[in-house]
Chains A and B, each alone.
Chain A
Amino acid sequence: MDDMRIVERQLDQQELKIKADNVQVYYGTSHAIKDVSVEIEDKTVTAFIGPSGCGKSTFLRCLNRMNDTIDICRVEGQILLDGENIYDKKVDPVQLRAKVGMVFQKPNPFPKSIYDNVAYGPRIHGLAKNKAELDEIVEKSLRRGAIWDEVKDRLDAPGTGLSGGQQQRLCIARAVATEPEVLLMDEPCSALDPIATAQVEELIDELRSNYSVVIVTHSMQQAARVSQKTAFFHLGNLVEFGETGQIFTNPVDSRTESYITGRIG
């Protein structure tokens, strides 16, 4: 990760993974997301930045229909995953969420053993035929979560007994265990200290080789460090979307400039 040279960062053109078209989100009568269209590429880290309450988390939760759990929330427009509208009537959100995994702001491991935390997803989706295969999936996921070496001797220990950074990496391992195609991260480092944050950021960069990663973050430095594409949200609008280097060095919109230079937000 060459933090300082974001301008010169390699930008391979990747395939389109998610395409959002004129998405509107309403909470009751309030219009939370206004007319957002965005294209998210495969094997790329896309960062959503913006001040608190700008709708970036809401939009993220639209991408795997986690907003369905909120009764008053209504989504209009369409979001295509590999060309299929995820808000189509025929789509079962459960199937969608197996493809689009999510990591939350606060580490939220199940109050079960480390092994069961990771094995839960594969178990309910029937990804393993037997114990040996499940063991393999758990090990692979924990390795991808960059936490295997720390927990391999205590897989039976409760997941809630780990430190905050370890818990978050366990949650990432849990999310990748179901072999998702897209990984959504809602401020994954906001509850972590700088060392744990660095570990998770490093992990996100590695995950890019397999997944399309969408990360919401409050920290502009983090967005600059880990992402290839950046979207700036303000008051429910998508103000600017482009290559990270361009957004941070040469923003087109004056609001983006004000935000990244610290004048608003």
Chain B
Amino acid sequence: MADISASPEGLPGAKSSLYAQSDRTRRRNAAETRFKYYGMGAVAIGVIALVCLLTSILSNGLSSFQQTFLRVEIFLDPAVVDPQGNRDPEEMAKVFTFGYQPLIKGSLEAQAQELAAGPAPEITPQLLAGMVSSAAPADLRDFVLANPDRVGETVEFNFLANARIDQYLKGRVTRESAALDSRVDVAQLNAADELVAIGQMQKRFNWDFIFGPDASENRPEAAGIGVALIGSAYMMLIVLVIAVPIGVGASIYLEEFAKKNWLTDIIEVNISNLAAVPSIVFGILGLAVFINFMHLPISSPLVGGLVLTLMTLPTIIIATRAALKSIPPSIRDAALGVGASKMQAVFHHVLPLAMPGILTGTIIGLAQALGETAPLLLIGMVAFVREYPDSILDPAVGLPVQVYNFTNRADPAFVERASGAIIVLLVFLVIMNLVAIILRRRFERRW
């Protein structure tokens, strides 16, 4: 009654029309409209931030999936690659990478003369030699050792172009910066333009970026994230195998079986607190326990996986408990009422219904672990690793650490590689989230 008498046109006894909005209604509607705009503004800021992030990463990183290659014809001289003449791979392996250099140099000279006489008059042997990556001899040797029967033939090769040339064609190196750069000169850039024009040099999709090992600053054009991919895959496997059973088991026990007393209260509070502990603390813990105390190999995906397991467990437990809590008690009553034991009630009825929630929580936990960097730095997974890990005990790096490694290096080629690695990481995260959504749809049931 107080409301009515307080409204201006609502004099006691006076009738108000439904067609005219009262002051109070108008104020309420205005507040609601304002609130809607705040919400839209908040969403817009979020979307803009996301778009900026994606544009920056994609514009920097997409070019890393393409690399400039120089086409060269090389005569695989048996006298050089197979001095014993018996095509025995073991004997041929005795010729080191260094031995292949003259072979490439000779071919490049011949090629340069041919080009200078014909379509590209400005090419000189020195220019051409400076444009080929120093990874070329190793690539050539790998090819010869893999195909000993082709020795003696003339084979067409696509060698990686020097990173500066590659970056010039991608626009990150300019003539101005080249003038100040000791690793490249303007004449090489001109020659590169000519080679591109006649199709001798071209950009191609670079599988070696995704699956190849890392490379040093002397030949950034050859650097890839293959070792990091394997390392991350191993670690995810370890997290999946260890964290999921432990996490789900602990949640089922705490939620369904444990008596509610001060002990379980303390455990519950501590699990929630663990979820909020900075990940680097888990790194220190891993360093102290797994490496210094248990003497597990440093830099290995095993230790990395164990540390990430510790970090992921609270997330999985919290998500699983929430999923179990959301199952209506009537389902448990129904199962117990027909004489099911507590375990049967949980495993036959509650768990299947909680599955979508558990899966979502688990995959979110895994995705979080996949993107984690800080703890890996502390257990030595930040090293420069060129060898593919054969097992979970061999040194490796993780994808996010590889990004960190790339950003630590000065060469402009690593700028695009850092963003490229981020793109690969994001692709994996999106795939994992899609899997979570699909599984949730699949298992979701109504009751």
Contacts and interface: CB of A to CB of B under 8 A. Distances in A.
Contacts of B332: 69
B295 interface: no
B387 interface: no
Contacts, number: 69
Contact of A108 (B334, B341, B344, B348): B334
Given A71-B259, A111-B445, A160-B446, A124 B339 contact: yes
B333 A94 contact: no
Interface stretch (A95-103, A195-203, A227-235, A240-248): A95-103
Contacts of A174: 334, 338
Interface in A74-133: 94-95, 97-98, 101-104, 106, 108-111, 120-121, 124-125
Interface string A42-69: 0000000000000000000000101001
Interface in B346-372: 348-349, 353
Given A104-B330, A110-B349, A95 B336 contact: no
B42 interface: no
Contact of B446 (A102, A111, A178): A111
Contact of B338 (A71, A95, A101, A160): A101
Given A120-B348, A124-B344, A160-B446, A108 B339 contact: no
B335 interface: yes
A207 interface: no
Given A97-B338, A101-B338, A110 B330 contact: no
A69 B337 CA distance: 11
A171 interface: yes
Contacts of B339: 94-95, 97-98, 101, 121, 124-125, 178
A110 B334 contact: yes
Q: How large is the interface on A (under 10, 10 to 19, 20 to 34, 35 or more residues)?
A: 20 to 34
Contacts of B344: 124
B337 A71 contact: no
B447 A121 contact: no
B429 interface: no
Contacts of A64: 337
Interface string A159-182: 010000000000100110110000
A63 to B, nearest CB: 12
A104 B341 contact: no
Interface in A211-239: none
Contacts of B340: 94, 120-121, 124
Interface string A119-161: 0110011000000000000000000000000000000000010
Contacts of A178: 338-339
A47 B353 CA distance: 35
Contacts of A108: 328, 330-331, 333-334
A185 to B, nearest CB: 11
A160 B328 CA distance: 14
B341 A94 contact: yes
Contacts of B348: 120, 124
Nearest to B349: A110
12 contacts: A64-B337, A66-B333, A71-B260, A94-B340, A97-B339, A108-B331, A108-B334, A110-B331, A110-B349, A111-B353, A120-B348, A121-B339
Interface of A: 64, 66, 69, 71, 94-95, 97-98, 101-104, 106, 108-111, 120-121, 124-125, 160, 171, 174-175, 177-178
Interface of B: 259-260, 328, 330-341, 344, 348-349, 353, 445-447
